[in-house]
Amino acid sequence: MKFADLGLSDELLQSVKAAGYEEPTPIQAEAIPQIQMMKDLIAIAQTGTGKTASFVLPMIDILAAGRRRARMPRSLILAPTRELAMQVAENFENYGKNHDLKMALLIGGVQMGEQVKALDDGVDVLIATPGRLMDLFERGKILLTGCELLVIDEADRMLDMGFIPDIEFICEKLPTNRQTLLFSATMPGPIKKLADKFLTNPKLIEVARPATANINIAQHKVHVTPRKKREMLRYLLKNDNVQNAIVFANRKTTVRELSKSLKQHGFASGEIHGDMDQSSRMAELDLFRKNEINILVASDVAARGLDVKGVSHVFNFDTPWHPDDYVHRIGRTGRAGAKGRAFTFVTDADAEAIANVEKLTGIKIPPYEMSDGDSKKPVRKAEDDADKSAEDKPEKPKRSRRKAAPAEEPANETVHEEAPQRKSRRKPSARNAEPKTSEPDVAEPQSAPRKTERSESVKPDDWNGPVPEFLAISALP
DNA sequence: AAAAAAG
């Protein structure tokens, strides 16, 4: 099967070819003909299956057949996150470069002016996150009555994020004689209901989960105690031939603190999470794409769909709570046939979560064991630790301190240089000034190296540093 | 348990 067999226009085939694709993925081969026949569609598919192109390509041909009108977009694509919406837009631009089609990207966190202007001029396709679309709609900037093609992307994610009422509201503003395409990785009850309500005789397409079968990703779980996570991460970053890596954490606060810690340890690291303003999010992503930083600490905002070329490693600094998220996260590496490595840190408290991951993926993730040589004396680590203790020991608290300091000191010590180098020992004053838990691991005794790393339990004596929040909670009756 | 999305 070739793209040429799918009845796409010549202009489109050219841009597909220019993008380097010859053969459609299974979902593209199945979905494109259905969409061309104006059928409604439910597609069960994960990101990484070629899902986006499966609707973008036929849409371009369909839209090329008509004419745009001011404020009356002809089609609408809904995506759960801004980054995903941006990526869909990039796809549209890329594949549609031989067509005269206008697009508007309606996402929050950026000025409305340009978006409104685009709407006024008339667009063929709107690509939007629900919030901003609703906002503009309520301001009377959009008429959806001419919108005869609707795509709901990542519907289950939309459900998780509480967007279903918004989607229902939007669907009701669209003409009833329209084509609706719904993409979802899973089909929970509410999504089924949504489909029943807003789709007409939909054709159902299902393709296999990609990441589970992605043999290009070498997966490992690493048993650690919470306190040892950062040290283990630094160790792996230095010793596992990391070109660039996305490090996922479950909480935004963890993302912030971990990113700051990595910078302080001399890594060229950045961060992305939903509390950052949109321009910072884009800027960090851009630095990472350009390899000006090679480590991106991220919340799950970056877990799904994000397409960065050539990510060599994914680290789950926290085991994800939802097994689906595991699949999405590690899917950021091993893309387009490249090799990738994925490490998941597992504490005792994560036993159930990791079991769920293994159940979902159907594979037993092999534990990562450091070689003896490594565990006794990691060559570069030794001197690093010496250095570290010299710098960090003074910072170690003598007693417990208040736990809730404001989370944001600007971590402006970014060092853009190759990762393993230690950086300055400067700013001791600034660091002393912060009564914060930003470095629980620095308190570890220099003389207790690697062997405690996989110890089963945490003894009270270990707690001469601040108690990580989750442990403190789990210790309660 | 969190994160995400309008501001």
Give pLDDT tens digits for A417-436: 333 333 333 333 333 333 33
Nucleotide nearest to A132 (CA to C1'): B6
Q: Which residue's CA lies closest to nucleotide B5 at its C1' atom?
A: A131
Mean pLDDT of A15-23: 93
pLDDT given for residue A186 in this prediction: 82
Has residue A368 got a pLDDT over 70? yes
Distance from C-alpha of A122 to C-alpha of A66, rounded to nearest angstrom: 13
pLDDT given for residue A373 in this prediction: 44
Distance from C-alpha of A76 to C-alpha of A125, rounded to nearest angstrom: 6
Choose the weakest-confidence range: A16-30, A94-108, A201-215. A201-215
pLDDT given for residue A212 in this prediction: 55
Strand B footprint nucleotides (protein C-beta < 7 Å): 1-7
pLDDT given for residue A375 in this prediction: 44
Side chain identity at A390, as an amino acid letter?
Answer: A
Decide: A325 and A331 in contact? Cβ < 8 Å: no
Nucleotide nearest to A84 (CA to C1'): B4
pLDDT given for residue A143 in this prediction: 93
Mean pLDDT of A273-299: 93
Domain ranges in chain A?
A: 3-206, 213-387+403-474
Tell me how far the alpha carbon of residue A279 is from its chain's centroid. Answer: 17
pLDDT given for residue A327 in this prediction: 85
Nucleotide nearest to A303 (CA to C1'): B3
pLDDT given for residue A214 in this prediction: 65
**Through-space separation of residue A10 CA and nucleotide B3 C1' in angstroms:** 42
Residue range A213-387+403-474 forms a domain whose CATH class is alpha beta
**Through-space separation of residue A178 CA and nucleotide B2 C1' in angstroms:** 36
Has residue A262 got a pLDDT over 50? yes
**Through-space separation of residue A206 CA and nucleotide B5 C1' in angstroms:** 28
Distance from C-alpha of A397 to C-alpha of A400, rounded to nearest angstrom: 7
pLDDT given for residue A229 in this prediction: 96
Mean pLDDT of A163-170: 94
Banded model confidence at residue A415, pLDDT cuts 50, 70, 90: very low
Nearest alpha carbon to residue A56 among A23, A108, A97, A1: A97
Pairing of strands A125-128, A103-106: parallel
Has residue A196 got a pLDDT over 90? yes
Q: A3-206 falls under which CATH superfamily?
A: P-loop containing nucleotide triphosphate hydrolases (3.40.50.300)
Burial class (CB in 10 A: 0-12, 13-18, 19+), A452: middle
What is the share, in percent, of chain A residues with pLDDT greater than 90? 60
Q: Which residue's CA lies closest to nucleotide B6 at its C1' atom?
A: A131
Fold match, A3-206 / A213-387+403-474:
yes
Mean pLDDT of A208-233: 83
Q: Which residue's CA lies closest to nucleotide B3 at its C1' atom?
A: A300
pLDDT given for residue A276 in this prediction: 93
Q: Is A142 left (phi over 0), alpha (psi -120 to 50) or beta?
A: beta
Mean pLDDT of chain A: 78
Measured torsion, CA atoms of residues A436, A437, A438, A444, in degrees rounded to the nearest 10: 130
Has residue A286 got a pLDDT over 50? yes
Choose the weakest-confidence range: A136-140, A222-226, A307-311, A347-351. A307-311
What is the share, in percent, of chain A residues with pLDDT greater than 70? 75
pTM of the model: 0.70
Mean pLDDT of A280-285: 91
Nearest alpha carbon to residue A306 among A88, A465, A37: A88
